[in-house]
Amino acid sequence: MSGGVSMKRKPLTTKQLAFYGLMIALALILSYLESLIPPFFAVPGMKLGLTNLVVLIMLYSKGARSAVFINFVRILLVSLLFGNGMSFAYSMAGGLLSALVMILLKRIGGFSIAAVSIAGGVAHNVGQIIAAILLLQTTSIAWYLLILWFTGTVSGAVIGILGGILCKKLQSARLFAE
Amino acid sequence: MKKHARDVLLIALIMLIGGVIALCLLLTRKTGAFVEVRVDGSVVSVYPLDEDAEYLIEGAHGGSNRLIIRNGEAWVESASCPDGLCMNMGHIRYKGASIVCLPNRVVISIAGEADEDVDAVVGQ
């Protein structure tokens, strides 16, 4: 928790640089994999949020600053590679709100990784709806918010449970040790 | 189980807010009178919901969506966008309900109220 402030002054070590590169590459691959899955359940915008797995693990192993950094770079690169300006705005709104909520809940403490991920999944969808309201200048997508509110909890739970298992396994991995 | 007390509280709160949103939407819903078509945020056309018809909507970037209005419901039957999500968004009839096609920047929404007394007639 307190490591965030001192990290600002310290230059990045080679190991950290390689580690961040690896994590961004992993997030990109997951983004690409997810884009290959056809939209199911006839609910547009409903996604599994596989990349949130990386953000979640970063948040719990390296802290808030690293999680936000990875998320930002990932969204930027995905938009450049596979998307456009619009998708960048949507991803950014969803990604940042989701990260913010997850960081806050982790700070408050007492929540499991799955619960934090569920709140993050909902926040992600709320962020995207807010972006859509601003970009399309319409408030008539309230119904859409309702659907995405609940699908967000489902995908958040799936990712959260996976993330919890991974965090436990990765604690013993040398790569994640400082 | 005490360990998960906060988790349960958080998830209950999320579900509660979701329920409140659902309740608000259900209690305030009214059958609409018009189908409003927006492209890039500005209204391009308004069609009556009680007249069966078919329209071709010209969206942004040369895209198009085929809008069907039948039996007091509106839906998108076919579209040029690659994902075709707007076709999956179902049939809409209630005020405020909408179909969004992000690639074509098209928003089709239901406006007005079918049962209300006429306060004013706009246009003509």
pLDDT in tens, chain A (178 residues): 444 445 556 788 888 889 899 999 999 999 888 877 765 544 555 678 888 899 999 999 889 999 999 999 999 998 888 777 778 888 899 999 999 999 999 999 889 999 999 999 999 999 988 888 888 776 667 777 888 898 899 999 999 999 999 988 887 776 666 5
Query: What pairs with residue B101 in β-bridges?
Result: B106
Interface residues from chain B to A (CB-CB < 8 Å): 4-7, 10-11, 14-15, 17-18, 21-22, 25, 38, 41, 83, 85-86, 88-90, 96-98, 100, 102, 105, 107, 109-110
Quick check: helix, strand or coil at residue B35? strand
- Kindly state whether A110 is in contact with chain B, defined as any CB-CB distance less than 8 angstroms: yes
- B48 is in which domain, residue-wise? 34-111
Q: Which of A42, A111, A118 lies nearest to residue B88, judging by beta carbons?
A: A42
Instruction: Answer whether residue A4 is part of any domain.
Output: no
User: What whole-number distance in Å separates Cα of residue A1 and Cα of residue A176?
Assistant: 16
Say whether both B87 and B67 belong to one domain: yes
Instruction: Answer whether residue B91 is part of any domain.
Output: yes
Instruction: Answer whether residue B87 is part of any domain.
Output: yes
Say whether both B12 and B68 belong to one domain: no
Size of interface A-B (CB pairs under 8 A): 81
The sheet carrying B106-111 orders its strands as: B42-48, B34-39, B106-111, B98-101
Say whether both B38 and B24 belong to one domain: no
Closest by Cα among B58, B89, B59 to B74: B89
Q: What is the helix (H) or strand (E) element at residue A122, kind and residue range?
A: helix A113-136
B112-117 long-range contacts, CB within 8 A, separation 24+: B112/B32, B112/B33, B112/B34, B113/B30, B113/B31, B113/B32, B113/B33, B114/B30, B114/B31, B114/B32, B114/B33, B114/B49, B114/B50, B114/B72, B115/B30, B115/B31, B116/B33
User: What whole-number distance in Å separates Cα of residue A162 and Cα of residue A159?
Assistant: 5
Say whether both B39 and B93 belong to one domain: yes
Q: What is the helix (H) or strand (E) element at residue B77, kind and residue range?
A: strand B73-79
CA dihedral for B4, A162, A71, A175, sign (positive or negative): positive
Predicted ipTM beyond 0.85: no
CB distance A142–B96 less than 8 Å? Answer: yes
Residue numbers in B near A160 (CB within 8 A): none
- Number of domain units in chain B: 2
Instruction: Answer whether residue A63 is part of any domain.
Output: yes
pLDDT tens digits, residue range B102-121?
Answer: 888 888 988 887 665 555 55
Residue numbers in B near A137 (CB within 8 A): 38, 41
Instruction: Answer whether residue B62 is part of any domain.
Output: yes
- A164 is in which domain, residue-wise? 13-176
Question: Phi and psi dihedrals of B59, rounded to 5?
Answer: -90, -170
- What is the structure's pLDDT at B95? 80
Q: Are A57 and A163 in contact (CB under 8 A)?
A: yes
Residue numbers in B near A144 (CB within 8 A): 98, 100
- What is the structure's pLDDT at B122? 61
Say whether both B48 and B85 belong to one domain: yes
Instruction: Answer whether residue B9 is part of any domain.
Output: yes
- Kindly state whether A102 is in contact with chain B, defined as any CB-CB distance less than 8 angstroms: no
Say whether both B15 and B68 belong to one domain: no
Q: Are A110 and B9 in contact (CB under 8 A)?
A: no
